[in-house]
Structure 1
Amino acid sequence: MSAKKRATASLSDIAEQAGVSISTVSKVANGQPDVAAATRKRVERLLAESSYVPLKRRHIAPQERITFLTRTMNSPLTLDVLRGAAAEAQAHDLDLVISVHPDDTDLRWIDDLGGGRTAVVAVRPTLDADQRARFRLLGIPLIVVDPYTRPDDVSYSVGATNWAGGLEATEHLIAAGHRRIGMLTGVADTQSSLARQHGYLAALGARGIPADPELIRHGEFSYDSGLADGTTLLSLPNPPTAIFAASDFQAAGVIEAARRQGVRVPEDLSVIGFDDQIVARMTAPQLTSVRQPSEEMGKHAVRVARQLLLGEEPMARHTELATTLVVRGSVGEPRVR
């Protein structure tokens, strides 16, 4: 390997030469212990030859920054992600600039970001093909949090295991004895909503429970949508005994719809939400919900942004962080009718 190549070797180059994974090289480079002695010695030799400098010993130029891009500050998810992103940026003494930019097909705002001097962490952006191409043309790293659409080769992304979350929520209702389970999705064509619905359908299918299209309502991640769709489901001649909502705000709307119709939660109707935001602890009863690690998603996005500003390729282009089911008081056994 020439001197020039040694100076510019990346983790992937070293991993290929050593015959190990990129994660193993990263562990050795950053002093983590769980690597076999012979492998560690081989990787350390290659790291030394390449003059590789671990991330924790590198510094970002003062004029570089991370831009936190959002369409609105009214979303609890956005605020949770921002909280995590700000904490991670502060831990590494990085400047974090907040940019609130509504849906817009204009390209000038991208030009104003400053080219290669910034990396952009964007929460649920609705970027068209021209805008994504502009990011690539200007060399601006783009990290998308909770992407609306399937990941592409322009951006990096971090999300949650939405399919697994939908599966676990539905399995919890089935385990409680429910068979007639409704679902309120979010916007029908968004990636997270589709994945949650597919998890719901997979859980039903695994137990041989037919999916009833009448019990699936496509709405929005909002209280009003949950109230309207919950009212519709509870007004059916044969209403569901349980409802899985794709967001906590929709689930809160369902609980209100039930109250207005004299349906008790969880005695007459079980309800599960998704996100585990503060509203889940404000309903009566408190809401069982699938927690997605919003703050950790923000932290992870900033870690990726930092790596890219330092010229390092992250170990994964697209990452999903695990969801967990938080059990509270909104699920019970189905009432015998």
Structure 2
Amino acid sequence: MATRNSTTGPTPGRVTISTVADAAGVSIATVSRVMSGSAAVKPELAARVQQAVAELSYRPSRAARGLALGSLRNIGVLLPDLTNAYFFDLVSQMHRGASEHGYRILIADSAGDPEQELNTALDLLEQVDGLVLLSSRIATAGLKQLARRQAPVVLVNRVELGVDLPMVAVDNFTPMMQLCTHLSQLGHRRAVYLSGSELAWQNRERWRAIQSLSMFGLETSYVSCDGTVEGAYASVPEALSHDPSVLICFNDLSAIGAISALRDHGVRVPEDMSVTGFDDNVLARHIAPKLTTVTNPKVDLGQAAWGLMQLMLAGETPSDSPPMLTAEVILRESTAPPR
């Protein structure tokens, strides 16, 4: 059987830029210029290269091409929980914008751990042209460290004063106040808040809104949770020990877990206990009872996030972060006057 010395040419069956150059009878540099769209190549040479590329079905390495052009055409997106459907619409919208401009999205999960998130962010910045942090848990000092990096970083779903990063977020405070006002008007006087991660800016804003209404007669206890279905399910016995008439849940996933646990404890919703969520994910409209919640403009948020990233990729500095997006309370069947 004949053998081929690996130093004499490319591996059989593997088409490289050298293979194309040999087939077209031109230099590797000429092939590179043609593939990058350079006009500094004679038309007849460019035609020979294009013909060789077509005949050999050659596809250039994106990484190598990116290095040559000074751009990897990758955008990193770092989020705390890939299993949370809340992030799907947000990332999908950013992916749509990125694709239209020739970028790919690389997604990473930090599992909600601030140290892991910072280390992952630093690693990603070596592989991407820009990085989007969704609902970041990184300490303020870490965010300031990322702000000093050359590649642009955009902060989404978090507002931090004194951090030199472009930010875009949804107003969590106002709709949570409106939701609690509705509960107070229904006659509720004792509530339990099933929290999200205490590291989440959204959780801090929602709890701040709830506390601000204590003067209007809605006494609320705080029960630590994690914003997941299972976490909320496990927290319901502690919540019931406070004898509430309503559970205010950090998000819709928490509300779904809470309703399931209440059912298993023989507590009817909303006859015996009202339950609210936040985000208005698709399940909120299809569980029984349908969930009173707050819309979260995820598509608009994704568009705003990509808009900031696009500006920075173009070398521009956003003059001001966009104003916080508005959210709206949606009243459904899971809330009613207390017994």
TM-score, structure 2 as length reference: 0.70
SS in structure 2 at match of 1:138: coil
- Report if the CA contact (8 A) 2:135-2:200 is conserved: no
**Residues 217/197 of structure 1: CA separation in 2 closer, same or farther (3 Å cut):** same
- Report if the CA contact (8 A) 2:245-2:273 is conserved: yes
Say which of 89, 92, 95 aligns to 1:83.
92
Say which of 231, 244, 248 aligns to 2:237.
231
Highest CA radius of gyration, 1 or 2?
2
Partner of 1:160: 170
- Report if the CA contact (8 A) 1:231-1:254 is conserved: no
Q: Are 1:169 and 2:183 counterparts?
A: no
Q: What is the 5 A alignment of 1:118-267?
A: 118-127=129-138, 132=143, 135-147=146-158, 150-205=160-215, 207=216, 209=217, 211-212=219-220, 215-236=221-242, 239-267=243-271
Partner of 1:293: 297
**Residues 279/140 of structure 1: CA separation in 2 closer, same or farther (3 Å cut):** same
**Displacement after TM superposition at 1:270 (Å):** 0.9
- Report if the CA contact (8 A) 2:98-2:105 is conserved: no
Q: Which whole-Å CA distance do the structure 2 matches of 1:119 and 1:87 have between them?
A: 16
Deviations 1:68-111 (A, max 9, x none): 33354322122121112123334x43413223153255476145
Give the superposed CA RMSD: 2.6
Q: Which whole-Å CA distance do the structure 2 matches of 1:291 and 1:162 have between them?
A: 10
Say which of 89, 104, 116 aligns to 1:96.
104
- Amino acid in structure 2 at the alignment position of 1:311: G
**Residues 129/202 of structure 1: CA separation in 2 closer, same or farther (3 Å cut):** closer
Partner of 2:8: none
Deviations 1:215-247 (A, max 9, x none): 3212111112212222222244xx111111111
SS in structure 2 at match of 1:312: coil
Q: Which whole-Å CA distance do the structure 2 matches of 1:268 and 1:132 have between them?
A: 45
- Report if the CA contact (8 A) 1:142-1:154 is conserved: no
Percent sequence identity over matched residues?
23
Partner of 1:21: none
**Residues 210/244 of structure 1: CA separation in 2 closer, same or farther (3 Å cut):** closer
Q: Which whole-Å CA distance do the structure 2 matches of 1:128 and 1:269 have between them?
A: 37
- Amino acid in structure 2 at the alignment position of 1:96: R
SS in structure 1 at match of 2:223: strand
- Amino acid in structure 1 at the alignment position of 2:257: G
Say which of 275, 282, 285 aligns to 2:286.
282
Deviations 1:118-162 (A, max 9, x none): 222221234456754554443111111223x73542322222111
- Report if the CA contact (8 A) 1:248-1:277 is conserved: yes
Q: Which whole-Å CA distance do the structure 2 matches of 1:73 and 1:140 have between them?
A: 24
Q: Are 1:109 and 2:113 counterparts?
A: no
Q: Which whole-Å CA distance do the structure 2 matches of 1:287 and 1:275 have between them?
A: 11
Partner of 2:6: none
**Displacement after TM superposition at 1:319 (Å):** 4.0
Q: Which whole-Å CA distance do the structure 1 matches of 2:201 and 2:160 have between them?
A: 6
Deviations 1:31-53 (A, max 9, x none): xxxxxxxxxxxxxxxxxxxxxxx
Say which of 49, 70, 76 aligns to 1:67.
76
Which runs of 5 or more residues in structure 2 are unaligned? 1-69, 111-115
Equivalences, count: 265
- Report if the CA contact (8 A) 1:169-1:200 is conserved: no
Which runs of 5 or more residues in structure 1 are unaligned? 1-60
